[in-house]
């Protein structure tokens, strides 16, 4: 059995730094960490699913309305939630990791290729897009888990 011991930050942990350091949040950080608010994350996922469905059906206007409509509702619901509080959660640290420019560009490229592949109904382009998205996620998880120590029941470091 493994347990995860959490390192408590004093302010806001930078998930992409080499050590646990505090830093001020910029506008991009605040925008990204808002996705850690569960209702917003759920509504973004629903909007993404419906948007991809409409792209597959080649209903472009409905795809844009569904994608942005659900995202705007989620943003409205989370308008009074503290970014600093969200940044202290695991999901918040993950979202801050997505704010790294290379990661953000890789994910945007991946989503663009995915939508392009769905529009063409090409499994090849869909797989490339999904691979880019997952590679960006994997890179962020690697940085986030630098701040966690995983131990087994014998208290040996893994």
Q: List, run by run, the mean pLDDT of 10-residue segments along the chain (158 residues).
A: 43 42 72 88 95 94 96 92 87 82 91 94 96 90 65 53
Residues 6+ apart with CB under 8 A from 32: 95, 96, 98, 99
Q: Is residue 155 part of a domain?
A: no
Q: Is residue 65 part of a domain?
A: yes
Residues 6+ apart with CB under 8 A from 24: 12
Beta strands in 1-140 (DSSP E): 2-6
Q: What is the pLDDT of residue 15?
A: 46
Q: Is residue 124 part of a domain?
A: yes
Domain range for 113 is 100-148
| Number of domains making up the chain | 2
Torsion of CA 95, 99, 105, 109, to 10 degrees: 20
CA–CA gap between residue 51 and residue 69 (Å, rounded): 10
Q: Is residue 6 part of a domain?
A: no
> Which of the listed residues 38, 62, 89 is the one where a domain comes to its end?
89
């Amino acid at each position: 059995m493994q347990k995860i011991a959490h390192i408590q930050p004093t302010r806001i942990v930078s998930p992409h730094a080499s050590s646990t350091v505090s830093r001020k949040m910029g506008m991009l950080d605040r925008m990204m960490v808002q996705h850690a608010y569960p209702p917003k994350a759920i509504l973004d996922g629903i909007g993404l699913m419906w948007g991809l469905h409409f792209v597959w059906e080649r209903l472009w206007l409905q795809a844009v309305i569904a994608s942005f409509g659900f995202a705007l509702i989620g943003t409205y619901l989370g308008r009074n939630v503290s970014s600093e509080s969200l940044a202290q959660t695991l999901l918040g640290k993950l979202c801050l990791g997505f704010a790294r420019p290379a990661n953000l560009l890789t994910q945007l490229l991946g989503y663009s290729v995915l939508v392009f592949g769905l529009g063409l109904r090409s499994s090849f382009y869909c797989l490339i897009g999904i691979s880019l998205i997952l590679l960006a996620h994997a890179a962020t998880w690697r940085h986030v888990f630098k701040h966690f120590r995983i131990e087994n029941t014998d208290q040996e470091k893994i």
